[in-house]
Every structure is written in C-alpha cells, then in structure tokens.
Amino acid sequence: MTVGEGCRLIDVRFSSEPYLVTLGDRVSATSTRFETHDGGVWVFRPQMPGIDVVRPITVGNDVFIGYGSIIMPGVTIGNNVVVGAGSVVTKDVPSDVVVAGVPARIIKSVEDYRSGVLGKSHDTKGMGEADKRAYYLRAFDGR
C-alpha cells in the first residue's frame, strides 16, 4: 500500500492485496474498505480452482471518503472528491465531484458542495474542547 502525505485513516480495512492500493496526499477515510478482488468468483472454483479477479485501486489528492464506504476493484478516484458515507464505489470517479449511493453516482460538483456548506460552517477546528463546547452551546441556544 502506498499512502501519501497528510492522510487520516481510521479503522480502514484492506483486502488481501493491500499492495495494490495507492492513496494520494490528504486522503481522509473512516471505516472504509478497499476491495481489490472480486470474491464472487468463489462460485467458479470447482471448475476453475485458480481463478482470481484482482484490480488495483487508486485514490487522488484531497479526497474525503465517508464512513462505511466500500471502494471496489479497479476504481480510480480523482482529486478533490467527496464520497458520501455508506457509498459503494464501483466505477471511476472524476475529479472535483461529490458522489454518494449504492452504487455511487455523481450528485454535485465540489464547488456546489462548498457553496452549500459555507453557510453552515463554523471556524472551530483549532479550538480546545472547552472553548468549542461553549461556542456550540451558544450557537445552538443550549440544545
């Protein structure tokens, strides 16, 4: 497996060929599975004991892969991509898009996502826990 700089990988699983997975810089993934092989060929093993279908997976730079997503064999994900939580990515994903679903499909551009999320965002990433808690309790009226 090749992992670029600044990646954040939490509870990520790689199938039996992790050396076929390449992650670019600043990839974030949580509870994601990278499947480099098609296990369904198991049903052909009585007739073809040595059969395997294996393909590499490549993920570009600045990619966020949402919780519980599965990236299937042979997929290439471009740069500046958001993969929605629980998605199953079965085909290549171009750069600068948001994909989601089973199977994953393009739902919007990253620029449209950015425009929509800016009004909901808060500048709290560098705050300590106590300051962040106080900020959010004020922002959401104690809810």
Residue 119: predicted pLDDT: 87
Domains annotated for the chain, with CATH where assigned, are: 2-140 (2.160.10.10)
Task: Please answer whether residues 78 and 93 qualify as being in contact, where contact means their C-beta atoms are separated by less than 8 angstroms.
Answer: yes
Distance CA(7)–CA(61), nearest Å, equals 9
Distance CA(6)–CA(90), nearest Å, equals 26
Amino acid letter, 141: D
pLDDT tens digit at each of 143 positions of the chain: 999 999 999 999 998 999 999 999 999 999 999 999 999 999 999 999 999 999 999 999 999 999 999 999 999 999 999 999 999 999 999 999 999 999 999 999 999 999 999 988 999 989 999 999 999 998 898 65
Residue 141: predicted pLDDT: 83
Question: What 3-state DSSP class applies to 105?
Answer: strand
Answering whether pTM is above 0.85, one says yes
